[in-house]
């Protein structure tokens, strides 16, 4: 189970529970680790809470997390749509592929990989998130040279059968290929898809050989999409990046969503993977050597 505690868009105005600075992100991840999460999908923020992929900030977050626990560290190379990640283009705001790639230089075990071009609309502003085939190869090369495993983010079938499959067939990732299906962002990203059981099954059927998959659902899609993922033999992601409100409409923190997912997993007769088990499933080497604080534990 992956927890995505921060994301690239949320602010304290949206929910007071979102952690944005290194110490609070690390503490939040540690609590989620003890609740049952085995992977942390991390976004970095500047001191003003705007988005960044600054490797120094990522290294700081990663070090603080690893001092507390052995959860798998997955840094974002999507970043966000403000702060260091956007530049003014000739016609519109654009997300900088060069800035996003910096997230792969901070020593994470995995990094999210958005190998696609989409137009995002956030707070009334359109931002082009352009990842040309050449830029995708550059990012894939950076990850391979840095010993980072890609977590392929997929918003639609074309992202999977064209962008992701092309890079896998070119040798930029070894099996098992970790694919994250992102649902419910169709009102934010042009070309993204809402969740439906038929759509998820279709995407699973399109997976390259040797793949494992995770499902994340935005907003109200989180619970049905992740439940379906478990029934199909997949893995799940929860956390405030994807959903800030429970089914009763109340704002909740990351630990609440992890605990709720653990209950669901166990009701289905399954068990959440430990970080060591997650590394084995993902084909990762052993955890980086760190100094874990006394008192670190996991039930």
Whether residue 287 is contained in a domain is answered as no
User: Which pLDDT does position 266 carry in this prediction?
Assistant: 98
Supply the range of the domain harboring residue 239.
2-282
Average pLDDT over residues 33-47: 98
Whether residue 294 is contained in a domain is answered as no
C-alpha distances out from residue 271 to 211, 263, 277, 292, Å? 21, 9, 11, 25
DSSP 38-107: -EEEE-EE-TTS-EE--HHHHHHHHHHHHHH--PEEEE-SS--SSGGGEEE-SSSEEE-HHHHHGGGGS-
40, pLDDT greater than 80:
yes
User: Which pLDDT does position 217 carry in this prediction?
Assistant: 98
Alpha-carbon distance 115 to 128, whole Å? 13
Whether residue 205 is contained in a domain is answered as yes
Q: Which two tokens stand for residue 189?
A: 């990203």
Tens digits of residue pLDDT in 79-123:
888 999 988 887 888 888 899 999 999 999 999 999 989 999 988
Whether residue 293 is contained in a domain is answered as no
Alpha-carbon distance 229 to 1, whole Å? 11
Whether this prediction's pTM lies above 0.85 is answered by yes
User: Which pLDDT does position 30 carry in this prediction?
Assistant: 98
Q: Could you tell me which residues are beta bridge partners of residue 128? A: 94, 119
Length of the chain (residues): 299
Element (H, E) at 112: strand 110-113
Whether residue 292 is contained in a domain is answered as no
| Region of residue 120 (left: phi > 0; alpha: psi -120 to 50; beta: else) | beta
User: Which pLDDT does position 124 carry in this prediction?
Assistant: 83
The vertex-20 CA angle with 96 and 28, nearest 5°, equals: 130
User: Is the Cβ–Cβ distance between 11 and 18 less than 8 Å?
Assistant: yes
Burial class for 269, CB neighbours closer than 10 Å (0-12, 13-18, 19+)? exposed
212, pLDDT greater than 60:
yes
Whether residue 182 is contained in a domain is answered as yes
Alpha-carbon distance 220 to 243, whole Å? 7
Tens digits of residue pLDDT in 237-271:
999 999 999 999 999 999 999 999 999 999 999 99
| Region of residue 88 (left: phi > 0; alpha: psi -120 to 50; beta: else) | beta
CATH number at residue 25: 3.20.20.70
Alpha-carbon distance 60 to 280, whole Å? 26
Whether residue 290 is contained in a domain is answered as no
Domain count, the chain: 1
Q: How far is CA 193 from the centre of its chain?
A: 17
First to last CA, the chain: 15
Q: Tell whether omega for the bond before 101 is within 30 degrees of 0, i.e. cis.
A: no
Whether residue 71 is contained in a domain is answered as yes
């Amino acid at each position: 189970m992956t927890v995505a505690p921060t994301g690239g868009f949320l602010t304290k105005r949206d929910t007071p529970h979102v952690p944005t600075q290194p110490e609070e992100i690390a503490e939040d991840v540690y609590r989620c680790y003890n609740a049952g999460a085995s992977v942390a999908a991390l976004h970095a923020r500047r001191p003003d809470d705007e988005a960044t992929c600054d490797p120094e900030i990522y290294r700081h977050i990663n070090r603080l997390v690893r001092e507390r626990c052995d959860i798998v560290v997955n840094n974002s190379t999507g970043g966000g749509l403000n702060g260091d990640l956007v530049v003014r283009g000739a016609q519109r705001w654009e997300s900088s592929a060069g800035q996003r790639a910096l997230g792969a230089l901070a020593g994470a075990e995995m990094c999210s990989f958005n190998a696609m071009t989409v137009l995002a609309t956030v707070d009334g502003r359109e931002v082009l998130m352009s990842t040309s085939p050449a830029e995708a190869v550059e990012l894939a090369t950076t990850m391979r040279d840095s010993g980072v495993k890609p977590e392929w983010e997929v918003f639609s079938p074309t992202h999977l059968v064209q962008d992701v499959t092309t890079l896998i067939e070119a040798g930029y990732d070894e099996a098992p290929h970790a694919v994250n299906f992102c649902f419910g962002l169709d009102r934010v990203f042009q070309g993204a898809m809402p969740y439906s059981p038929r759509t998820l099954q279709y995407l699973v059927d399109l997976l390259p050989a040797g793949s494992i998959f995770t499902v994340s659902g935005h907003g109200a899609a989180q619970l049905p999409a992740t439940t379906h993922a478990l029934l199909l033999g997949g893995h799940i992601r929860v956390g405030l990046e994807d959903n800030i409100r429970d089914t009763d409409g109340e704002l909740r923190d990351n630990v609440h969503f992890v605990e709720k997912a653990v209950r669901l997993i166990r009701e289905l007769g399954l068990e959440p993977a430990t970080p060591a088990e997650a590394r084995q499933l993902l084909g990762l080497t052993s955890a980086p050597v760190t100094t874990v604080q006394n008192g670190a534990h996991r039930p």
